[in-house]
Structure 1
């Protein structure tokens, strides 16, 4: 958690500094950019604070060891179907929704059930019976 906390701390400092610089260069007449940068910094501080708080409560991970090896964090990442067509259908349905945002909402309404169908098909691809795996 130390690496993630440091990352968000740096992002907080960067956003706060850039918000101040942006405000100075625009003479604070255009407040939207400075506010957006300050809010980005606040959200980075929120996430960084959560990671710091959580990192205090749990043991060190292999990622936090500066002398750690890559083999220390190896593990099973799960099972991914090598011959599944469902990701293609899900991507096409999401592309249809993205196109619908540009063209018309009727296309979004057409794509939402297709996304649901493709997601359900992908999740339950290997469940064809009561005890199938």
Structure 2
């Protein structure tokens, strides 16, 4: 549990850093002759929120989960044996999801909203197939 707390504190320190840097960046850019840089300010704000989310997640699991074998000083190699989780085999669905996203983006860039609608429908099918690919066939539960 020791290293889980260390991981948590690393992300908490990054969150504190970003909480301090984001308003400083806003005030420094607003004092310039070109006006406030809203792109950088919003990017720093989103980074702050995302790192805070990871900090919260790691902090929650550091308290509630049992210690991992690699965190214990007296653990043996055999303590970490067993199933590590489910790792899916290759999948074609991410390719189709990416292609439909490119169709949506191309339709938006060309002003062809009908192409965006077609891409959205095909994208919904591709994402649904990606989500439910292990609920049928060889990998059915």
- TM-score relative to the length of structure 1: 0.63
- The 5 A counterparts of 1:1-133 are 1-26=8-33, 30=35, 32-33=36-37, 37=41, 40-41=44-45, 44=48, 48=52, 51=55, 55=59, 58-59=62-63, 76=84, 78-82=86-90, 84-104=91-111, 105-128=113-136, 132-133=140-141
Which segments of 5 or more consecutive residues in structure 1 lack a partner in the other structure? none
CA distance in 1 between counterparts of 2:50 and 2:98 reads 32
Does the Cα contact within 8 Å between 1:5 and 1:49 map onto a contact in 2?
Answer: no
Q: Secondary structure at the match of 2:48?
A: helix
- Following TM superposition, by how much is the alpha carbon of 1:97 offset from its aligned partner in structure 2, in angstroms? 1.0
Query: Is contact 2:14–2:51 with CA below 8 Å preserved after alignment?
Result: no
Distance in 1 between residues matched to 2:40 and 2:59, nearest whole Å: 28
Q: Structure 2 vs 1, CA of residues 80 and 57 (structure 1 numbering), >3 Å: closer, same or farther?
A: closer
Count residues in correspondence.
122
Scaled by the length of structure 2, the TM-score of the pair is 0.60
Structure 2 segments unaligned to the other structure (5+ residues): 1-7
The whole-number CA distance in structure 1 between the counterparts of 2:115 and 2:48 is: 35
Distance 1:132 1:101, change over 3 A: same
